[in-house]
Structure 1
Amino acid sequence: MFPVTSRRHFTSSLYILRSSSPHNHVLYSSSSFLPSFISSSSPTKHNNNKQSPPMAACIDTCRTGKPQISRDSNRSLDDESGLRYSNYFRSSGYQSINATTQTKTLHTRPLVEDLDLHPNDDVWAKIRQEAKSDIEREPIVSGYYHASIVSQRSLEAALANTLSVKLSNLNLPSNTLFDLFSGVLEQHPEIVESVKRDLLAVKERDPACVSYLHCFLHFKGFLACQAHRIAHELWTQNRKVLALLIQNRVSEAFAVDFHPGAKIGTGVLLDHATAIVIGETAVVGDNVSILHNVTLGGTGKQGGDRHPKIGDGVLIGAGTCILGNITIGEGAKIGAGSVVLKDVPPRTTAVGNPARLLGGKDNPKRHDKDPGLTMDQTSHISEWSDYVI
């Protein structure tokens, strides 16, 4: 056996052994697929009395499974057909996740049409259509979109892949996380339905969201919320070690900190999302919109039920602190920068530090629409402040 003095020498040794095998036609044999450091010299001699077993060529790939771009040395920089990528393709199944190296030429492979679509999965079909359109406009994203969307068989597989890549690190491989995430998603279809409702909510309420695909791949508030849904399910199964691990990685990767014990409804928009903190016993209803730097926290070190309960259709402005086991009623609006320490009645507006109700405590002004859906954050200003520009 060749001495293993470095990763490069080890890879070279594997290739030399593989090249000398009579079975070397099984895998790739073209030199265009090999790392540039591999020498073209002739293989080393074998012992004629003992035939070496076949060995697979070692091709470098990244730890997270992202596509690796390489260029054929025999082609010019302007030749598109010279660009090749190697990519891990994961199966959508949970029981068997096989990483297989595929090599294809950019811009010529089949995109959306080559895979079967679920007829009732309109959101997933729309995401795939958007991916195809983006690839046609910007071919440079082809490898990234293929690994993230086009090669995935379902919405849950694509979500598990995206989260596993973004939350992995050197000691927590993406394949391990993918197995965990895809298993939870496949066993709990109600989580996938919540994912779809969140996608629809973001696209409807956030003018910065240009497509479902854009949200699915790039909006950290959306991704943090979906990771929390998985962590919460693990928490309810008493798999608290894994749930807290996911919470920690989400906090590090997205700057969003949801305790896995918190209960989050559907149709939730976390706009920008940076520095949102939600405590263990907090409850967030359906169709709620929360901007960045919001805290749903406790007021001390006491245990038990100690965090806010947010009703359906609530809008919480940026920089708001809602503290203690209090209730924010259905359809209420909390102005930016407010500190709320007491219950807020349904369909009222609370602003200030400490927060007070528009119209006063005895006869607060009420509104008809859900601010969590309208995203109206300024209509109360003229009735609350005498500050004029």
Structure 2
Amino acid sequence: MNANDIWVVIREEAAREAERELYMKHFLEQHILQFDRFSEALGMLLSVKMASRHFPPQVLQELFDDFYRESPADVDIAIADLEATLERDPAAVCYFEIMLFLKGYQALQAYRLEHWLWKGNRKSMAYLLQNRMSEVFGVDIHPAARIGKGILLDHATSLVIGETAVVEDNVSILHEVTLGGTGKESGDRHPKVRRSVLIGAGAKILGNVEIGEGAKIGAGSVVLDDVPPHYTVAGVPAQIVGRTEEAEPSLDMNQRLMRRSKLR
């Protein structure tokens, strides 16, 4: 859906909930029903979430307004992330709840502002917001990292993504995942995660390694080497345990590991 269509749906969802749960009516009016556009409401929500005594929400709201006005593609990306979350997270049952209550989604949209600032050589402001995002959401994504669209950050607590990491489209990442370096090396030192990869909870992917398209990383694994496309790895250190059963594991969210006997 485009921004206008999805905003109609979100407003309808919020209006029904406001009638059903009267104690939330004022909250929903403040955060959704008073706005005509999705980008305005999302920017205001994140501004309030990330505000501090050093940066009041009004200042952050201006930043988000500039961001979405100058980079309308990021509004479409925010919608793609919203749809990905609804499709893949069984706990997500409607759009307005994802937008208002799921911190993985919120942290991802905050990162996108930080990345825009970083690309515009506004690095101090990007770092300031990254620091605040880490405090508020428990998520640490370097502003220089490159993250595609249709991303699910499920729970997201203790997620770390390093400076030179790349995450392509339609990837699903669970909590306590690290896309990090291996030590004090400089330069291009973080993982490259290709399309449609599923990364299980607690996995650590370290160094400038490539996780091939459609691969699956088992929960708790430590990955130090490249993973071929459409293969599953698990263990410490991670080893290949089979081919993936799905072309796009990130969409199915099936974390079962194939037995070695099925390896072809």
TM-score, L = length of structure 2: 0.96
Alignment of 1:251 onto 2:129: no
- In structure 2, the residue matched to 1:346 is 229
Alignment of 1:263 onto 2:146: yes
- In structure 2, the residue matched to 1:378 is 256
> Residue deviations 1:218-258, cap 9 Å, x none?
10000000010110011001000111111011000000000
Give the conservation status (yes or no) of the 8 Å contact 2:216–2:244: no
Which runs of 5 or more residues in structure 1 are unaligned? 1-118, 360-364
Alignment of 1:195 onto 2:73: no
- In structure 1, the residue matched to 2:69 is 186
- In structure 2, the residue matched to 1:206 is 89
Deviation at 1:369, TM superposition (A): 2.0
Deviation at 1:120, TM superposition (A): 6.5
Deviation at 1:320, TM superposition (A): 0.3
Counterparts in 2 of 1:129 and 1:271: CA distance versus 1, 3 Å: same
Give the secondary structure class of the aligned counterpart of 2:19: helix
Between the aligned partners of 2:247 and 2:196, the Cα distance in structure 1 is 9
- Pick aligned residue for 2:18 from 135, 138, 158: 135
Letter in 2 for 1:377: Q
**Bigger CA radius of gyration:** 1
Give the secondary structure class of the aligned counterpart of 1:121: helix
Deviation at 1:153, TM superposition (A): 2.0
Which runs of 5 or more residues in structure 2 are unaligned? none
- In structure 1, the residue matched to 2:44 is 161
- Pick aligned residue for 1:172 from 37, 48, 55: 55
Q: Which has the higher contact order (CA 8 A, sep 6+)?
A: 2
- In structure 2, the residue matched to 1:48 is none
> Residue deviations 1:182-216, cap 9 Å, x none?
11111111100000000000000001012100000
Give the conservation status (yes or no) of the 8 Å contact 2:218–2:257: no
> Residue deviations 1:7-59, cap 9 Å, x none?
xxxxxxxxxxxxxxxxxxxxxxxxxxxxxxxxxxxxxxxxxxxxxxxxxxxxx
Between the aligned partners of 1:172 and 1:250, the Cα distance in structure 2 is 13
Q: Which has the higher helix share?
A: 2
- Pick aligned residue for 2:28 from 145, 169, 183: 145
- In structure 1, the residue matched to 2:219 is 336
Deviation at 1:268, TM superposition (A): 0.2
Between the aligned partners of 2:62 and 2:3, the Cα distance in structure 1 is 25
Letter in 2 for 1:371: P
Give the secondary structure class of the aligned counterpart of 2:229: coil
Name the % identity: 52
Between the aligned partners of 1:220 and 1:320, the Cα distance in structure 2 is 20
Q: Which moved more, 1:321-330 or 1:177-186?
A: 177-186
Counterparts in 2 of 1:233 and 1:120: CA distance versus 1, 3 Å: closer
Deviation at 1:384, TM superposition (A): 5.1
Between the aligned partners of 2:186 and 2:17, the Cα distance in structure 1 is 49
**1:213-224 maps to which residues of 2 (within 5 A)?**
213-224=96-107
> Residue deviations 1:235-284, cap 9 Å, x none?
00100011111101100000000000000100000000000000000000
Give the conservation status (yes or no) of the 8 Å contact 2:218–2:255: yes
> Residue deviations 1:297-336, cap 9 Å, x none?
0001111100000000000000000000000000000000
Letter in 1 for 2:66: G
Deviation at 1:358, TM superposition (A): 1.5
Give the secondary structure class of the aligned counterpart of 1:349: strand
> Residue deviations 1:81-110, cap 9 Å, x none?
xxxxxxxxxxxxxxxxxxxxxxxxxxxxxx
Counterparts in 2 of 1:156 and 1:366: CA distance versus 1, 3 Å: closer
Could you say what the CA RMSD is over the residues aligned between the two structures, in angstroms?
1.5
Alignment of 1:278 onto 2:156: no
Between the aligned partners of 1:242 and 1:135, the Cα distance in structure 2 is 36
Counterparts in 2 of 1:358 and 1:379: CA distance versus 1, 3 Å: closer
Between the aligned partners of 2:41 and 2:107, the Cα distance in structure 1 is 15
Between the aligned partners of 2:30 and 2:3, the Cα distance in structure 1 is 23
